[in-house]
Amino acid sequence: MADWGFYGRQAERAAIDRILARGRWFFCAVSGRRRIGKTTLIQRSLQGAGISGRFYFQVPDSDEAGVLRSFQDALEDSGRQQRVANFGDMAAAVREMCKDGWIVVMDEFQYFHRAALASFTSFLQREVDVLRNTAQGGLFVLGSIHTEMMAILEDRDSPLFQRVTDRIEVDHWDGQTLFEMFEAHGVRTPQEWLFFWSLFEGVPKFYRDSHDQGVLTNDANYRHEVLRRLFFEGSSPLREEAANWFLRELRGRYDSVLKLLARLGPCSHGQLIAEYGRSGGATDKQVGGYLAILIDRFRMIDKLLPVFASDRARKSRYVISDNFLSAWLSAIGRNVDAARIQPVETCISRAAIALEGHEGFAFEKMTKSLIEECSRKQVGDFPLSAVVRGYWNKPDGSDIEIDVVAYDETRKIVRFGSCKRSADKHEYVAFNGHIGRFQRTAEGRRFSGWTMEKALYSPLFDAADRRRHQSNGYLCIDLTDFERWLRPSASPREASSI
């Protein structure tokens, strides 16, 4: 088994290196979802820079006394003798460490948005104002709830308003990093790539857990083994992940909205209201409020719009934004619960089957992400003029449903794409019908006179499939094509062999 490495993050590490090299005190905010690798990124960067004076503190989900106790413990563990009896002492300790040239890292900083802990930011403001024109040390604050971090650091009424000197957003691993990691660990089939991505997307911690459990390998029975080791055994590392790191943040009916979306897949506001109505649920206004909070505060739901639609378009669809949470709510969680009283093998098999539907939605999302990444890095076969969207004119997609609408205004080329988890599920007649009806819409007429391409996307096409589809005028693009384009050795706009 290959050792676990540190993959990707070149841009983020370069940004941190520049901050450290300036030779003056800094206050850097680092944001990103839980488990995305914020702490590891900072640790690696500080180690690489040879900085020995480092202080790390994870703010606990507690009251003031609990925070102070944890901070005192962290001070003692780092060899500092200073005593802290209140938040003023705690902020002063941060100042003293920075004056000694130390780098202070405060994780889960968003908890200071809570009323019981908010007074700390006023004490920290006073110390920040003392340090901001000095040349010693620095402060990293890490947070995972975007809106609460913004409220602490960006709100005009916040004591820390305009005090941050630098900001870094840590996102999912991109496709190139994932392919690099898969290659290092011998995970070589597109079916495995999709399975892992549909569960974990680009969250490094989950892949590290897979490696530590011995399932990040080329195993013929990988689906069952991954589920068993990571979710269904008593010591499984992800057995309580959703409850601990997602759903515990929610109150009221928010988790009900998520469960409905996980079951329905991408759906309209009207479909969601109808489902609630069947169970005597919330009103239209209440559901709108739940959606707004889940989109804006927690970033757990994405609002999808068809190509050329405005933000206020009524054709919007809602979908769970996080692959892990969607997989848990739609397939894994209920079977983990059922395994308490039913045979474990039965529950694992049921979860594996249920995940096939989830993978279908995930593959479309993965395809769009890879198309955009290839365009951004100037590789692949299609430069984009805008982000990739699909098109639908009815909530259920019964009239027009096109998975991918990508266009290049410079060359006047539009590409329509169909995404299928199984290569043998592509249907010419249905696909062409949807394209034809789209071309008669107001949005479709924008492409009048453009060159049209029709592309089929699946995890893998064999040679016979490619020949058959190409002879009928269709491009065939699978995950091996994206992997080849995104290799570090690939040249810009590498010629396509599709």
Q: The dihedral of CA 240, 241, 242, 243: what is its sign?
A: positive
Q: What are 9-17's contacts with CB under 8 Å, separation 24+?
A: 9/37, 9/41, 9/44, 9/170, 9/177, 12/41, 12/168, 12/170, 13/41, 13/44, 13/45, 13/48, 15/166, 15/168, 16/41, 16/42, 16/45, 16/168, 17/45, 17/48, 17/49
In this prediction, residue 490 carries a pLDDT of 60
Helix (H, G, I), strand (E, B) or coil at 28: strand
pLDDT at 175: 97
How many Cβ atoms are within 10 Å of 187's Cβ, its own excluded? 22
- Closest among 6, 13, 75, 5 to 46, alpha carbons compared: 13
pLDDT of residue 496: 45
Q: Are 27 and 165 in contact (CB under 8 A)?
A: yes
Q: What angle do CA 459, 461, 467 make, to 5 degrees?
A: 155
What pLDDT sits at residue 495?
A: 41
pLDDT of residue 253: 62
Q: How far apart are CA 381 and CA 371, in angstroms?
A: 9
Joined together, the tokens standing for residue 493 give 């706009």
Which residues are paired to 419 by β-bridges? 457
- pTM, whole model, 2 decimals? 0.91
Reduced to 3 states (helix: H, G, I; strand: E, B; else coil), residue 330 is helix
Whole-number pLDDT of residue 492: 60
Rounded distance between C-alpha atoms, residue 215 and residue 225, angstroms: 7
Task: Delineate the domains of the chain, giving CATH numbers in brackets.
Answer: 10-169 (3.40.50.300), 175-243+329-360 (no CATH), 247-321 (1.10.10.10), 377-485 (3.40.1350)
Q: Write out the chain's pLDDT in tens, 498 residues.
A: 789 999 999 999 999 999 999 989 999 999 998 899 999 999 999 999 889 899 999 999 899 999 999 999 999 999 998 899 999 999 999 999 999 999 999 999 999 999 999 999 999 999 999 999 899 899 999 998 777 898 999 999 999 999 999 999 999 999 999 999 999 999 999 999 999 999 999 999 999 999 999 999 877 899 999 999 999 998 999 998 887 766 666 655 677 888 889 888 888 888 888 887 776 656 677 788 888 888 887 888 999 999 999 887 788 999 999 999 999 999 999 999 999 999 999 999 999 999 999 999 999 999 999 999 999 999 999 999 999 999 999 877 789 999 999 999 999 999 999 999 999 999 999 999 999 999 999 999 999 999 999 999 999 999 999 999 999 999 999 999 999 999 876 656 554 444
Question: How far, in Å, CA of 438 to CA of 315, rounded?
Answer: 14
Res 145: pLDDT: 77
Tokens of 400: 């027009």
